[in-house]
């Protein structure tokens, strides 16, 4: 997900699905792009044959929501902690909950760098 969002968040204009295949198997990439579109994180146009089978996609780019979400998980350490947290929980979460988890982890990550402030004498 993070790698696909990184590609979509770049300001390069529309790109065919094949530009995303370095991330994973074509069917997995297409499924994840559909999920990202359904969650409102990317703008994309999916093309289907007359049987309704997806035959391709053009990713226009990340939405404003998608760009904001990518900024939450852009740091590799934060993303690693997010993945470890979800793996430990043993669940797949919806985007709204994932966003909340990412925001909380980012907040804790950043605040862990705040030095202890000693009182003045």
The CATH number of whichever domain residue 34 belongs to comes to 1.10.10
Distance CA 75, CA 69 (A): 12
Q: Are residues 25 and 49 in the same domain?
A: yes
How high is the pLDDT of residue 64?
A: 94
How high is the pLDDT of residue 121?
A: 77
How high is the pLDDT of residue 26?
A: 84
Q: Are residues 6 and 47 in the same domain?
A: yes
The range of the structural domain enclosing residue 55 comes to 2-62
Q: Which of 78, 120, 119 is nearest to 98 (CA)?
A: 78
Q: Are residues 54 and 80 in the same domain?
A: no
Q: What residues are paired with 86 via a beta bridge?
A: none
Instruction: At 103, list the tokens.
Output: 């925001």
Q: Are residues 52 and 24 in the same domain?
A: yes
In a domain, residue 120? The reply is no
Running along the chain, 121 residues long, what does each successive block of 10 average in pLDDT? 89 79 86 92 89 84 94 93 93 90 94 88 77
Q: Are residues 13 and 53 in the same domain?
A: yes
Q: Are residues 46 and 21 in the same domain?
A: yes
Q: Are residues 25 and 46 in the same domain?
A: yes
Q: Are residues 55 and 17 in the same domain?
A: yes
Q: Are residues 46 and 95 in the same domain?
A: no
């Amino acid at each position: 997900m993070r790698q696909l969002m990184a590609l979509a968040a770049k300001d390069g204009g529309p790109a065919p699905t094949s530009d995303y295949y370095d991330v994973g198997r074509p069917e997995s990439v297409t499924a994840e792009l559909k999920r990202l579109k359904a969650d409102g994180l990317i703008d994309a146009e999916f093309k289907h044959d007359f049987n309704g089978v997806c035959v391709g996609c053009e990713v226009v780019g990340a939405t404003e929501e998608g760009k904001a979400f990518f900024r939450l998980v852009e740091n590799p350490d934060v993303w690693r902690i997010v993945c470890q947290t979800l793996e430990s929980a043993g669940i797949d979460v919806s985007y709204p909950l994932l966003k909340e988890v990412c925001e909380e982890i980012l907040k804790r990550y950043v605040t862990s760098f705040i030095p202890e402030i000693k009182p003045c004498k």
